[in-house]
Structure 1
């Protein structure tokens, strides 16, 4: 597999995540960078909701079904757009003109080029396997969708809870990856890798583009700079391509800036005609965004709430202060009391509700002290990475710049919220820290990934302010300097940033990704080749029993042949547990034969359980070791390195 071949798969991925949503956003009346920036949110919401409806109606998941759903949503959006415009008495907004759109497109090309270089250097080959715990589930879940034709979030959790009639797991990522595979014929690993590239290098920069547009108004220079700056942060998106691997979180967080832009428009920020999203349309997009975030990964909603609380509360308090100064006491006083009561009630619910017990139950050790954690935030070196001095300096400049711009001052407390949560998670092992960070699994990596949402905005403001200062003046708002000279200096400052950071830390980000894709210990090159050879001996309707800790959980994702244990751990049924304990003794145990027949298990795949050596869970499969000669199993294939495939024959003979 070459990267040239993979580029066509990447183009299909970009098409699936952009075009359906763009048809809908243009139908709603949006134009320019806003229409394109919000498009992935609508695309993800459409495909994930369509998958749920398709599962309920027993309609097989396919590119045709997804395309029909997208067409229906685009038609409905067009109708809503027409209705909203009639009620408002106006035509669709003509966008910001050609120059900002062209500049945004140019910036996106730069971001995509650097993103492609980062991914290529990090993965090595386009269909490389992520050698991580969570990747096993994500690969297997995508493979099950392709095999079963059911992509519903209400059922995806049955991959690891097969005895449950339904089990929720947010499936937006897997819906996306499966559409790539189904429409191109790509393997599950290749489709997943191209989905990861697309989310990191297209969806995320597009979301940043619309968020900065909402903050700064129409600006060609801001549109050019934003996508490029967006990929400069290690904590997001690049760390989530490697850690975990947290692909659903990657998708949810990449959508967050565009949804935050819709929230700002609903709240009337900025005030006046500079908003690129009419308020009525923003309400629709905010609801759509909530669906997209929830079905990508629910903690993206908590992240949006944590960051979005700053502009909402900032605006509300500013309004209350103006009212108090005008001696209009009643309305703001009642509003603030009701707000305090609502927030208190919400806090009690979130803390006491058993709905979140599983998420809060995770406990990660603190690995540094608060001073070190603060230093990591200031230098964008979270979770032990090297300091990113160039982009950090620009973020600090942006923080000083927004102080002079009342409409943007909320960015500072919003940034501090994300930074503070990271400091708590990484450096404090206290009940308060566990309480505040519990909705992110107390995981410093997930919390660090929130910081670039506001970090990108501050960096763009900093670059534009720097360009204005170098040009000999100060713009009232970033991106609206009014002359070419500040814009040229901003572009020059951005070029210096790119060069000073060695092309936005491509080498460092590639190294982060490479740590996840190193050959083995889950499945190495030789083991993968053996799986592909052995699969030719397995009928399409047969199930292969195996100890998943040998890496064989990926047999299904690599070959399309179903395995008994598609993940390293799960709520396995009694039948599965029986075979895990006694399958190698099938010829002498009629009960094992009956269970094997019921589950269609005709093969046993044996290998070395060498993933996470020392993990006691690898010992939960004593019945899936190599069977003794004459025990009712025939050797089908072996590679001389401990991997072998046996066919069950003893039950048929008995």
Structure 2
């Protein structure tokens, strides 16, 4: 079971990293940097190929997409290597960190392996221990869409962001109760669909694979790249980032548990690599050709972020805006001005950069195509002081605190005051925290101006702050290590040996990991504990392994249904009784797949008639005509009875008024014949309507 999981993970990872790695190696990047930045090319490439295939009528699957991309990447690699006359990898103005371990592995290789290895062990332990099974999935509102979209990708062979739907195939699109659509970011779905079409696993299995690839491989590799570029001249800081990348409850873990927000997870995991690409363009001595090449990679990075979840582009902006202001403020230094005049000019240039960034921010805020996003409202979850305290203790919606990480961030921020070339990162984190706090307590215009790009969602804003906090915490951990080294050297009146300094670093890293993740003592009146990570552990276990709406008995009943009906038979259902997951997770061809309000202008007349009056099919011509039009053959009920009495429904069910035409059907209702019956579960055949084969 788990062997298949990690085999599928390896195949998906190779498919995601491989094409981009070949292209970047051809461009002349070192192996470590090419590996770290490769997903920026791979994510965009898979979505763009899916879009092209949809226009050309080509079926998308792992073989057709990955096969094409590897061939194209190999050709580009060969052409670039020939054009560069087989020159060795260039450094892109990064310093050479030498070699270790007998000259076989470079410092970069060891660090990258450390980042990925720690992440794989840490994330692997959480996934294996708390999921229980790779087939487990969260029975939450958003996951119906996630699982259903993956299933539609697989069934239809259409992987386009402009044709994303739970009714993607031609036959399903014809009976969609809520027709319409437009652009929707589908990068995460494409990666999950690679898992299904390569190994034939279920959609639930595939989404766990996709999440593991992004959390255990893409995020740590990107974090390494960011740290490697940022601390090019201070390499001792780089290894400490490996231990901080996955410690924050706010990201990536709470964003996995809440919603769940898997597409946003994948997008945020790409942000560090995108930021590293941007920083590389400003490395002193980077040639014009290299800058042009990096600019192309950065364009692909922006495309990948937008195609995964557009708010990641604004997250990248929050991270890099202070860096851009700092860079612009340094322009007067090249003018050879001096004294107070130079200081005044730097302030002026910085103010101009800030004004330009503000103008761009407000232009995006007022853009019509973003109106529905920025005007979306989450109600405040706390007052101003409570939201500030949540940010201060690095809780970020995780119902607890991470005092150790909070301390490391404070130390890291103080360290940037001493080493001011990194001070911009402290401003990035402060800005992200400000967005989180305003979203947490405000209910006015500021809420939308600051956090509208994240749907004013405090979980997403908290995830953004946590993401940026990773690098400040790594600085803080390094600063603590340097402080201990200095104390030891002062006490011993001599230099500390390499083994001793390594042992001290390992002890500090262990303290940071345990201090940030150990469940801790439960807080007064709370079951989640003083340490925010306890809610992560609890949520991973209960969220994915406890089936409440679509329980084991109902899943077994659906499997019986699949043996009785033909694969293309259309089954009318009430999605809120759990049957929405019957399509999304078990590929049963149900009619109603969304769990949203159906009484909307774009709902089809057939859908309205069936929801309200299906039970009267024996006596009403319009009902029979509606059923015939969509080709309905069966009715599925997983919770027959009074609403919320015998079995739970999803929260969108309300009092069931929208579904009275289906809920009212019983064994003796004219026009319906019992095919399967068990407890409160029924499968009826509609006998008063003839459906052509």
TM-score, L = length of structure 2 = 0.85
Alpha-carbon RMSD: 3.3
Deviates most, 343-352 or 100-109:
343-352
How do residues 567-606 of structure 1 correspond to structure 2 at under 5 angstroms? Answer: 567-569=594-596, 572-606=603-637
Give 1:533-548 correspondences, 5 Å limit.
533-548=560-575
2:284 is the counterpart of 1:271: yes
What is aligned with 1:123? 131
Stretch deviating more after TM superposition (340-349 or 240-249): 340-349
Q: CA deviation at 1:150?
A: 0.4
Mapped contact 1:55–1:151 kept (Cα < 8 A): yes
Q: Which moved more, 1:111-120 or 1:517-526?
A: 517-526
Task: List, as ranges, runs of 4+ consecutive aligned residues in structure 1 with deviation greater than 6 Å.
Answer: 327-338, 481-484, 503-506
Q: 2:157 aligns with which of 137, 141, 149?
A: 149
* Inter-partner Cα distance in structure 1 for 2:551 and 2:439: 34
Gaps of 5+ in 2: 100-105, 490-495, 520-530
1:101-500 alignment, distance < 5 Å: 101-157=109-165, 159=167, 162=176, 164=179, 167-217=182-232, 222-266=237-281, 268=282, 270-272=283-285, 278-320=290-332, 323=335, 325-326=337-338, 342-343=356-357, 345-472=359-486, 486-500=501-515
Query: Aligned equivalents of 1:41 and 1:424: distance in 2?
Result: 31
Contact in 1 for aligned 2:390/2:396 (Cα 8 Å) = yes
Please tell me whether residue 524 in structure 1 is matched to residue 551 in structure 2.
Answer: yes
Partner of 2:528: none
| 1:11 CA displacement | 2.6
SS in structure 2 opposite 1:496?
helix
Measured at CA, do residues 572 and 145 of structure 1 come closer, stay the same or move farther in structure 2, by a change above 3 Å? farther
C-alpha distance 482-30 of structure 1, shift in aligned 2 (>3 A): farther
Aligned length, in residue pairs: 641
2:30 matched to which residue of 1?
31
- Out of 400-409 and 486-495, give the one that drifted further: 486-495
Task: State the shift of 1:344 in Å.
Answer: 5.5
* Aligned partner (choices 552, 556, 559) of residue 586 of structure 2: 559
Q: Within 2, Cα distance between the matches of 1:637 and 1:410? A: 65
Q: Is the 8 A contact 1:20 1:70 kept in 2?
A: yes
SS in 1 for 2:35: helix
Whole-Å separation in 1 of the counterparts to 2:673 and 2:384? 60
| Contact 1:33–1:209, Cα closer than 8 Å, also in 2 | no
Deviations 1:439-473 (A, max 9, x none): 11111000000112221111222222222232228
Indicate conservation of the 8 Å contact 1:135/1:244, yes or no. yes
- Which has the larger displacement, 579-588 or 75-84? 75-84
Is 2:685 the partner of 1:647?
yes
Counterparts of 2:78 and 2:352, CA distance in 1: 36
CA deviation string 1:134-185 (max 9, x = no partner): 0011111111111111010001046499464652211111111111011111
Mapped contact 1:22–1:39 kept (Cα < 8 A): yes
Structure 2: how far apart are the matches of 1:423 and 1:37? Answer: 32
Encode CA deviations 1:581-600: one digit per residue, 9 max, x unaligned: 22232232333333323322
Conserved? CA contact 1:468–1:489, under 8 Å: no
Counterpart contact for 2:152–2:165, Cα < 8 Å: no
Cα offset, 1:64, TM superposition: 1.3
> Quick one: structure 1 residues 379 and 333, their matched pair in 2 at CA, closer, same or farther if it must change by over 3 Å?
closer
Aligned partners of 1:69 and 1:503: how far apart in 2? 46
Q: CA deviation at 1:242?
A: 0.9
Question: Residues 571 and 634 of structure 2 are in contact (CA less than 8 Å); yes or no, is this contact kept in structure 1?
Answer: yes
After superposition, the Cα gap between the structure-2 partners of 1:371 and 1:85, relative to the gap in structure 1 and judged at 3 Å, is farther
Task: Call closer, same or farther: CA 1:441–1:524 in 2, change over 3 Å.
Answer: same
